[in-house]
């Protein structure tokens, strides 16, 4: 978004507007943090804003200020669709293509609202009138901070906005350790701490609320870990039966894929999770260094994301998906060993 576009948006936002803010389906910390951070900012400017999530999100994010006002599209279809079609503006956050918000993509596409994208994923679709896309950013939450900065409103950042944005920067960088974490990221975090964000409270709320079942599921996942040394690839699988046996709840599998990547010598880590309702295998890909898992997911598994973190799916069963994956790895053997 250039200066002229910011001025245009500033003009549009100079009078009260009806605004809808949308995260991607199966919202994570960055999706909920960025939408709720922007929500508090726009409400402060005097707009009437609503965050509409395509479906529900994990309990460990339900303390973020503003959570109680979030509308879940899947649960409140009529209310959500009316808000979308009446909106003057729709902000879409933390995703790069409308199909990433599931069934909500259609009403958004049909709405006459001005669309604004704020996102850090590769190869964004051009559906928005205003596009703030930057793949060098560690998180959409950091981009919302820079958006507020571009609007000249950094002094409006308070604890509520700060807590929301801190959450997504923390989760998308795995607590400030992934490569896209920059000195600027730390300066943004410093500002958020200065406005009253209690960092330990947020780390505890997100990471230290494991249920017994989730820790047992972690044990099961680690037990299922396999390492294909010739491909420098680690993978984990979780069947529906295993998920059921440990009382699986939304969010329980978040971050499990990173254990594979923590294995000495692993360059590529994958988790395959059986989704019974959707009859698909949901796959998460993570890599270290130059191995591009965005390209890998796009080419072979109907997905995408970032260079070092992406997702996709398979319509085969769990066993066949893994066999197919291993056969594909042959073509990447040289690259994975370079
Ligand atoms: P996760 O593995 O945590 O679900 O996703 C990793 C990253 O890839 C996230 O940034 C997520 O938004 C993106 N991603 C996950 N699944 C898909 C997908 O099916 N398509 C695209 N384009 N991106 C995905
Ligand atoms: Mn993100």
Q: Could you tell me the CATH number of the domain that includes residue 308?
A: 3.10.310.30
Measured in Å, residue 323 CA sits from the centre of ligand 1 at 22
Q: Both 62 and 190 in a single domain?
A: yes
pTM of the model: 0.94
Q: Strand 268-275's sheet: what is its strand order? A: 226-228, 233-238, 268-275, 280-287, 309-314, 304-305
pLDDT at residue 276 is higher than 90: no
Q: Both 167 and 250 in a single domain?
A: no
Alpha carbon 305 to chain centroid, angstroms: 9
- Cβ atoms of 271 and 259 closer than 8 Å: no
Distances (CA, A) of 233 to 146, 190, 297: 36, 36, 15
Q: Both 187 and 41 in a single domain?
A: yes
Query: In which band, very low, low, confident or very high, does the pLDDT at 250 lie, cut at 50, 70 and 90?
Result: confident
Residue 283 Cβ inside 6 Å of ligand 1? The answer reads: no
Give the residue, by CA position, lying nearest to ligand 1 atom 7.
310
pLDDT in the model for residue 204: 98
Q: What is the mean pLDDT of residues 67-88?
A: 98
Q: Both 201 and 229 in a single domain?
A: no
Q: What is the mean pLDDT of residues 198-210?
A: 97
Q: Both 148 and 229 in a single domain?
A: no
Q: What secondary structure, in 3-state letters, does 17-41 show?
A: CEEEEECCCCCCHHHHHHHHHHHHH
Last-in-domain residue among 158, 187, 207? 207
Q: What is the mean pLDDT of residues 27-33?
A: 98
Ligand nearest to the CA of residue 144, numbered in listed order: 2
Q: Both 199 and 224 in a single domain?
A: no
Last-in-domain residue among 180, 207, 234? 207
Q: Both 199 and 226 in a single domain?
A: no
Measured in Å, residue 231 CA sits from the centre of ligand 2 at 28
Q: What is the mean pLDDT of residues 7-14?
A: 96
Q: Both 201 and 233 in a single domain?
A: no
pLDDT in the model for residue 298: 97
Query: In which band, very low, low, confident or very high, does the pLDDT at 278 lie, cut at 50, 70 and 90?
Result: confident
- Cβ atoms of 315 and 283 closer than 8 Å: no
Q: What is the mean pLDDT of residues 277-289?
A: 94
Q: Both 95 and 129 in a single domain?
A: yes
Measured in Å, residue 331 CA sits from the centre of ligand 1 at 23
Q: Both 75 and 195 in a single domain?
A: yes
Q: What is the mean pLDDT of residues 254-258?
A: 95
Query: For a pocket test of ligand 1, which of 305, 306, 313, 315 has the largest count of ligand atoms closer than 8 A to its C-beta?
Result: 305
Query: In which band, very low, low, confident or very high, does the pLDDT at 292 lie, cut at 50, 70 and 90?
Result: very high
Query: For a pocket test of ligand 1, which of 270, 311, 312, 315 has the largest count of ligand atoms closer than 8 A to its C-beta?
Result: 311
Residue 23 Cβ inside 6 Å of ligand 1? The answer reads: no
pLDDT at residue 210 is higher than 90: yes
- Cβ atoms of 256 and 221 closer than 8 Å: yes
Token code pair at residue 37: 């951070």
Q: Both 88 and 179 in a single domain?
A: yes
Measured in Å, residue 138 CA sits from the centre of ligand 2 at 7
Residue 192: closest CA among 234, 223, 154, 137? 154
Please, which residues have CB within 8 angstroms of residue 140's CB and are 6 or more apart in sequence? Answer: 30, 31, 34, 93, 94, 118, 119, 120, 168, 172
Alpha carbon 321 to chain centroid, angstroms: 24
Residue 312 Cβ inside 6 Å of ligand 1? The answer reads: yes
Q: What is the mean pLDDT of residues 212-222?
A: 97
Query: In which band, very low, low, confident or very high, does the pLDDT at 78 lie, cut at 50, 70 and 90?
Result: very high
For residue 305, the enclosing domain spans: 212-336
Last-in-domain residue among 163, 191, 207? 207
Q: Both 36 and 167 in a single domain?
A: yes
pLDDT at residue 277 is higher than 90: no
Give the whole-angstrom CA distance, residue 273 versus residue 292.
Answer: 21
Q: What is the mean pLDDT of residues 31-38?
A: 98
Ligand nearest to the CA of residue 93, numbered in listed order: 2
Please, which residues have CB within 8 angstroms of residue 287's CB and are 6 or more apart in sequence? Answer: 261, 267, 268, 269, 293, 307, 308, 309
pLDDT at residue 155 is higher than 90: yes
Residue 29 Cβ inside 6 Å of ligand 1? The answer reads: no
pLDDT at residue 304 is higher than 90: yes
How long a stretch of residues is the chain? Answer: 338
Residue 25 Cβ inside 6 Å of ligand 1? The answer reads: no
For position 9, which CATH number holds? 3.90.1640.10
The total number of structural domains that make up the chain: 2
Give the residue, by CA position, lying nearest to ligand 1 atom 4.
311
């Amino acid at each position: 978004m250039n200066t002229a576009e910011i001025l245009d948006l500033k003009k549009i936002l100079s009078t009260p507007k009806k605004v809808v803010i949308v995260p991607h389906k199966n919202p994570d910390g960055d999706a909920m943090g960025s939408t709720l951070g922007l929500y508090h900012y726009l409400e402060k400017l005097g707009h009437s804003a609503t965050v509409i999530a395509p479906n529900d999100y994990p309990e460990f994010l339900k303390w973020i200020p503003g959570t109680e006002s979030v509308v879940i599209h899947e649960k409140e279809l009529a209310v959500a669709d009316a808000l979308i079609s009446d909106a003057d503006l729709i902000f879409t956050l933390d995703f790069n293509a409308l199909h990433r918000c599931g069934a909500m993509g259609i009403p958004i596409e049909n709405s006459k609202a001005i669309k604004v994208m704020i996102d850090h994923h590769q190869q964004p679709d051009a559906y928005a009138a205003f596009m703030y896309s930057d793949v060098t950013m560690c998180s959409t939450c950091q981009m919302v901070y820079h958006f507020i900065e571009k609007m000249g409103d950094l002094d409006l950042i308070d604890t509520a906005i700060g807590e929301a944005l801190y959450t997504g920067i923390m989760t998308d960088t795995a607590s400030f350790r992934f490569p896209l974490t920059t000195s600027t990221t730390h300066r943004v975090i410093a500002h958020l701490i200065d406005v009253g964000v209690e960092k330990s409270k947020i780390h505890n709320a997100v990471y230290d609320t494991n249920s017994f079942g989730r820790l047992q599921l972690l044990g099961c996942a680690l037990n299922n870990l396999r390492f294909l040394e010739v491909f420098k690839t680690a993978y984990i699988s979780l069947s529906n039966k295993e998920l059921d046996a440990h009382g699986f709840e939304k969010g329980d599998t978040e971050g499990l894929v990173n254990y594979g990547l923590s294995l000495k010598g692993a360059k590529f880590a994958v988790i395959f999770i059986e989704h019974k309702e959707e009859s698909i295998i949901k796959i998460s890909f993570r890599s270290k260094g130059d191995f591009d898992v965005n390209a890998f997911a796009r080419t072979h598994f109907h997905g995408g994301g970032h260079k070092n973190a992406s997702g996709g799916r398979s319509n085969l069963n769990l066993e066949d998906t893994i066999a197919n994956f291993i056969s594909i790895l042959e073509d990447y053997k040289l690259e994975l060993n370079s």
